[in-house]
Chain A
């Protein structure tokens, strides 16, 4: 019987990456994989130049342009001068320092958190950072992945390490079967609505339970992606056969014998029985319904059929003030329902929900149907590869027939930075991750929802319970996995 203390998967990966631990100091943590993009890297490269430093190991950093790029006519020079300059600065820096860049037009270009996994750059057991808070997405493969600031990007470029204090650990367990029309986005919106936008601050989360195990890799990524929206440093899922199947054969993943060897190592990446967490939360999958947010942070979410809370239901005066301000911004009444509310835009995209399975789920809802006249619908694939795959499968034809606009890959209307913005006062049902004031453009109003719910709203032109549009399975189909049950 070994005397070693049982460890969580998080502790195993962390401990294996500490280059230096000194009392009173944060750990110097080695970073296996570093992703950079045009917005949060230029000042880091400037720092290197000022100190006359080189990049420590160029093979461990990969760059792409995603945040500040147009999603139309990507083959043409970027029209807006500042955006063009920012992307050109990335090009220059990558060239000067010898970093691989998947630039606009490259077949591997795309949202940084989508291309990492699809290229096999994201693997179990790694430490992964990027100057973007949604780096938590990569945790779906069983690794420690988290967002960092630009000063830290500079540190990682220069030293391949980052200084970090070990966060506390939290386990979130979800067991049971998901109901009709309920997908992984609903799971994470449900969790955040229960524990609030700051409920996991200071923690690193491990998602567990059979409801998580039964999800595809892409669906798992959606969950881990939004860990930051409850304040968590990151979120991970222990790797399993689903993970290994996804990785096998990907461009930069280990191949052949090396792959088999890696898998046997990756299989050790599970939390030991008896491992202790600072906090454990349990949820029942049967309690989860299609979700929607009504306010201006991702914690302000509810079942699509629920009513918005009343101001009196908020405990603290300070909470009441923020709540009122939020609902005024959104133009919705406390205590009212959103169901049936007319919307103006539908955005299907972002690192949360712009993978091929998301596009397939949307296509399965809208096939043979048309969008409502009052809405404009943008489908923005997360990467060039996703875009290409969608074309191969004929999804583009389905979207076109429905009156949806299929664009080029990028972060698009998730963040109101590039050309794609939701106009002031307009309502958008969005598959992205943030409903902050002005997030999708000054004074824009965002309702976060799943790709299925967004597709349903595109057809009806209003906030819709997606379950009303999904036929109950006929007896002979029962037991068969449908697209929406899988995702």
Chain B
């Protein structure tokens, strides 16, 4: 058979190969137990994590690493909540010390209301981090011009937003996402904005290498079931992209043969 059944279809970022194209966040869950169950249901092999001060008044409280094993899942430390390049760099240096990982997610935000990335600061931080040996996956606007600048500056993955963080609005600008996919030689992942399974499928049908999401799963009524839905949506969208969709027509075209009609 030359027509292929679903095949092994991995992707590679900074020399690490993954079979799952879904990256999930670990914030906003009821507790770490539910979080861990959702990660399993999602089939994700990479999870984003934040770096925060330890709780000095209650040092015995549960910690993420007890529920989601960093030896089993690739931890992708992020810089969520950082609004300057300096804050982001300080956070990622601590992340590297805490976990020993060089693969990180950079996000430098501009203001609380829309959490849109500050691309000037993001590019500045990317250059400094890359010079320090970090492998940087970059959260960015869906601007193909800036995406190109990030790639030229050494980003190991380009991660444009589909819509504002936590909004669940779905891909607002599929044209731009597609332009970024077409021009990029490093992986492109939609990061932020996915609200439900069809949004993830749309991202994958546009040719993205993967999708990163948190709130769409964590704030679903049943997060574990939604995690499973997202797993299937990413696979479905990817296979549809590989299969090559039919041409759109302005008119009907019957599916049953016209010849031999009684």
A binds B: no
**A-to-B contact residues, CB < 8 Å:** none
**B-to-A contact residues, CB < 8 Å:** none
